[in-house]
Copies of this chain bind each other. A is one copy, B any other.
Amino acid sequence: MSLVWLNGVPATEIACDDRGLAYGDGLFETLRVQNGQIPLLERHLQRLELGCQRLMMPTHKAQWQADVLAFAAELGTGVCKLLLTRGSGLRGYSLPDPCQPRCLLLGSELPKYPVERSTQGIALFPCATRLAEQPLLAGLKHLNRLEQVLARSEWQDPQYAEGLMRDTSGRVIEGVFSNLFMVQAGQLVTPVLSRCGVAGVMRAELLAAASSLNIPCVVRDLAYVELLKADEVFMCNSIYGIWPVNRLQDSSWPQGPVTRRLQEHLSLLWSTSSNAA
């Protein structure tokens, strides 16, 4: 392991009675770090705060921000995974009182994805693993991730850069580690995440960007047959940005104009963050 901090202090281990381990009782964020800067930091911190509220965990936004910026300064460029747990607890599900959360920061290199994924697009693997519908946890980036582990284990063929996940009712929801958008008759569409799925920070950024770029945009339920007939499809997350989808089962797509406009927006955002350092 490379750079790891626990509650602001270098560490390699965490207490065995942490509830993050016992129950997946916590949240995480995956942050892109460029020259010590974090492009979408405020959105990440807002989502973390919202997650804490929904899981009834105390929030320490100013402290997280200070820790993560100090960590980013030391990391330079790479990925910072922030993992927030409810801290130690006795045996049993009752919330510990007092609750002393732990904030773990794990540094790693930026993944070396082939540049063609951004320029020529990716093939999407249609996962058989479905997302269960749990409105109480939907949208959160929490630590209960066995569905993603199972979905990611479905393919080893490197021609597939991501997998598509549907919910147990068959609706299109997201990728295994990304959100999904499609373009239909000039309108941007991304699935509702009120029953399951992770409300990604890059998704939120692109929804805001679409609005400022006057691209019509709607968040709604999305059927698989609709997706297969879309004009454009792309995946996004905070680390790689935007990958156009060029193939899913028998459907194929060229890279489209809306996807390109959003990629340009993102290039600008990332280069600005980088120059600011």
Interface residues of A (CB under 8 A from B): 1, 4, 6, 11-25, 28, 30, 55-56, 79, 81, 83, 85, 90-95, 104, 106, 108, 111, 129-130, 132-134, 136-137, 142-153, 168, 176-177, 196
Contacts and interface: CB of A to CB of B under 8 A. Distances in A.
A105 B80 CA distance: 30
A177 B93 contact: yes
B16 A11 contact: yes
Q: State how many copies of this chain the complex holds.
A: 2
B147 A134 contact: yes
Given A145-B23, A146-B137, A56 B12 contact: no
A19 B90 CA distance: 21
B22 A177 contact: no
Contacts of A129: 136
A133 B168 contact: yes
Contacts of A150: 55, 136-137
Contacts of A25: 145-146, 149
A264 to B, nearest CB: 28
Contacts of A20: 21
Nearest to A94: B152
A113 to B, nearest CB: 12
A94 B145 contact: no
Nearest to A146: B144
List 5 A-B pairs, minimum CB-CB distance, nearest first.
A24-B24, A13-B13, A144-B144, A132-B132, A132-B134
Given A11-B16, A16-B1, A153-B56, A23 B132 contact: no
Contacts of A91: 30, 79, 81, 106, 108, 111
